[in-house]
């Protein structure tokens, strides 16, 4: 395989990685993962951190009904 084909293959993988990263950021913003970003980052350095108050969250999951 020629060197140019390796470069092209590397560019394709880099482009796919960029698209995946851009989609991950879009998804995080759409689902509210970035809505309270600064408060959550500053709360770990504050002595009066609100214990028991959630400042960040995981993606929501559908709750299963108990039969």
| Residue extents of the structural domains in the chain | 3-34
Higher pLDDT: 28 or 34? It is 28
Q: What is the mean pLDDT of residues 6-29?
A: 96
Residue 24 scores a pLDDT above 80: yes
Structural contact between residues 55 and 40, judged by C-beta atoms closer than 8 angstroms: yes
Of the candidates 27, 31, 37, the one whose C-alpha atom is nearest the C-alpha of residue 60 is 31
With cut-offs at 50, 70 and 90, classify the pLDDT of residue 11.
very high
């Amino acid at each position: 395989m020629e060197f140019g084909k390796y470069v092209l293959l590397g560019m394709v993988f880099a482009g796919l990685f960029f698209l995946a990263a851009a989609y991950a950021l879009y998804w995080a913003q759409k689902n509210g993962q970035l809505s309270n970003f600064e408060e959550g980052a500053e709360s770990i350095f504050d002595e009066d951190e609100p214990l028991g108050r959630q400042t960040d969250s995981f993606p929501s999951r559908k709750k299963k009904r108990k039969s």
